Structure 1
Amino acid sequence: MESSGEGSVHYDCWNESNINMNVEASESTTRRLYNRLCIGNTGIALKALGALAALVGIYFIGYVTGYYVHRCP
């Protein structure tokens, strides 16, 4: 077998205008939403508000339960 020389290997040149380097466009919607809401100062504020809402909910459930348990007959 005989090689046909240097011309037998073909290299394609990339056209730089056809390469999409936009990473955010390739991310899923849920990943972008997570990055926006759960990271940084916004994430800390949302976590604090969530904890406060959970505490208020637990307080309300305890209040209603205590009312019905301890009411006079």
Structure 2
Amino acid sequence: MQPQDTGVQYRRWNNNSRDEVSVNVSTAEASGCRRVYNKLCTGKVGIAVKVIGGNILFWIVFIIGYVTGYYVHKCK
């Protein structure tokens, strides 16, 4: 079994009455999500993903509006 990387540590400072709480998160989970985010949302690939996503969203809204308008304004 692998040791767990998650844990909470609590330290109390006596001189200034400050409390310090640190939470350790598993680096395998955090780095996987961060890696996907960095790959798809930053740099040239991120710009391309945003442009393609914007175009897809535009055409979906356009088609829904066209079909809705066709049925609303259809002659009887």
**Same fold, TM exceeding 0.5?**
yes
Query: Deviation of residue 29 (structure 1)?
Result: 1.2
Higher relative contact order (CA 8 A, sep 6+): 2
Q: Which structure 2 segments of 5+ residues have no match? A: 1-26
Q: Which residue is 1:69 aligned to?
A: 72
Q: Number of residues paired by the alignment?
A: 50
**Structure that is richer in strand per residue:** 2
Moved over 2 A (4+): 24-28
**Cα separation, partners in 2 of 1:26 and 1:69, compared to 1, 3 Å:** closer
TM-score (structure 1 length as normaliser)? 0.61
Report the aligned-residue RMSD. 1.9
Q: Which residue is 1:38 aligned to?
A: 41
- Percent of aligned pairs with the same residue? 50
> After superposition, where does 1:43-54 map in structure 2 within 5 Å?
43-54=46-57
Q: Which structure 1 segments of 5+ residues have no match? A: 1-23
**Structure that is richer in helix per residue:** 1
